[in-house]
Amino acid sequence: MSALVLITPPATEPLTNAEAMVHLKVDFQIEIIYIDNLIKAARVAAERITRRALITQTWDLYLDAFPAWEIGVPKPTLQSITSIKYMDTDGTLQTLAAAKYLVDEKSEPGRITPSFGEVWPVTRAQTNAVVVRFVAGYGAASDVPAGIKHWMQVRMRQLYDNRSATIIGTIVEDIPRNFVDGLLDDFVALDYGWAT
Q: Give the residue with greater pLDDT, 149 vs 167.
A: 149
Q: What is the reported pLDDT for 170?
A: 56
Picking from 19-33, 143-157, 177-191, which range would have the lowest pLDDT averaged per residue?
Answer: 177-191
Q: Is residue 190's pLDDT more than 70?
A: no
pLDDT tens column, 127-146: 999 999 999 999 999 999 99
Residues 56, 50: Cα–Cα separation, whole Å: 15
Rounded to an integer, the average pLDDT of 115-127 is: 97
Q: Is residue 154's pLDDT more than 80?
A: yes
Q: What is the reported pLDDT for 187?
A: 73
Q: What is the reported pLDDT for 181?
A: 61
Helix (H) or strand (E) holding 95: strand 93-95
Burial class (CB in 10 A: 0-12, 13-18, 19+), 125: exposed
At 164, the pLDDT band (50, 70, 90 cuts) reads low
Q: What is the reported pLDDT for 196?
A: 43
Q: What is the reported pLDDT for 162?
A: 73
Domain segments of the chain: what residues? 1-196
Percentage of the chain surpassing pLDDT 70? 84
pLDDT tens column, 68-103: 999 999 999 999 999 999 999 999 999 999 999 999
Q: What is the reported pLDDT for 191?
A: 63
Q: Is residue 55's pLDDT more than 90?
A: yes
Picking from 5-19, 72-86, 146-160, which range would have the lowest pLDDT averaged per residue?
Answer: 146-160
Rounded to an integer, the average pLDDT of 23-44 is: 84
